[in-house]
Amino acid sequence: MNRVYLDNAATTPLSEEVVDAMVEVMKISYGNPSSTHSFGQEAKALIEGVRRNIADSLKVQPAEIVFTSCGTESNNLIIKSCVEHLGVERIITSPLEHKCVAESVRDMKARKGVEVVYIRPNHQGDLSLDDIEKALQSSDKKTLVTLMHANNEVGNIYDIKAIGELCKKYNAYFHSDTVQTIGHLDLDFSKMNIDFASCSAHKFHGPKGNGFAYIRKSTKLKGMISGGGQERDMRSGTENVVGIVGLGKAFDLCIQNLEIYKNKIQEIKDYTIHQLIDKIKGVKFNGRSSEAENSLFTLVNVLLPFKDPLIGFKLDMKGIAISQGSACSSGAAKPSTVMLMLLTDEEMENCTPLRVSFSHYTTKEEIDKLVEALVSIQQDFK
């Protein structure tokens, strides 16, 4: 059976060039980057080269890039350290955030008594800048705003430049979970009032277990892991040199091919939407995922006109890997917080949400196989 992978928002396959770069490091650069001898300094040079390349692309200082294990660690570090070390007493966020952000915020509320203000989305998953400004105006407490750049389930892209300007106006810190956009969009942090951001390499064909946090130097944020003082005392522990090189190679490939990949994936996304509309009567799309503007080109969130909680399993049996929501937690399929916020009770009762996410490896033939399988499954409900 030729298997089809359409869950790239959860993770992406490693690029062959990334694998080659990592294997080369495993063979010859095995020194500890904290060691002062030549073996260690060679490893250290590899890390610093990746750091400089990422910083140059994002238009920030190299010292503001801190390597971590993933976006989850980066988000935990930023949110919890803002409370622990910067005296944040209030967090403005939304119910649409990734679970690692949502749980970190809840943890700070429970353990530190932080006030939490939620910006409620409309039925399309949009957040109102007016609502954000009203929330910022309503208190003089030291505030952190944590709002993602793009939603990992419905693909809505939020105006983090405008949000950053509001945060600057009201003297609030601004953190954005950029896991779904770094490596896919051309980002210039020097033009945004953004204090903190996060990245996971495996979202753009890099290795799992590697990511970074962008931490604006002027914030003076402190690390949460004590030890040997690696990563400028922001994240102690021996660095994963192999993984960092893999992250760097994947990042470089995506930035170098940004427009090529974007155009190819957007074509696949458009083809998917058209095929679904043509073959499945009554199909709808959640959030702004079917739109060309203000939406990630890497995914579309489909609302199928029949209820089938086992659809992910059925598609998997047909060799098609797909998601019914976020892959931020394991277990049986159940409605995500995002879907509960955006869908009506009637839609929750009678329809099935499905996230289809693409990479530059995705083909139209794979989309045809998906649509054919969905048509076959729909026949069981007629």
Please choose, from the candidates 257, 286, 279, the residue with its C-alpha nearest in 3D space to the C-alpha of residue 359.
257
Catalytic-residue membership of 100: no
- Which one from 100, 199, 254, 328 is the annotated catalytic residue? 328
Contact status, residue 198 vs residue 71, Cβ threshold 8 Å: yes
294 touches 344 (CB < 8 A): no
φ/ψ region of 4 (left if φ > 0, alpha if ψ in -120 to 50, else beta) reads beta
Distance of CA 309 to the CA centre of its chain: 25
CB 336 within 8 A of CB 151: no
Torsion-angle region of 252 (φ positive above 0: left; ψ -120 to 50: alpha; else: beta): alpha
Dig out the tokens for 214 from the structure.
């962008």
Joined tokens for residue 312: 């992910």
Element (H, E) at 79: helix 71-86
Report, as residue numbers or ranges, the catalytic residues.
328
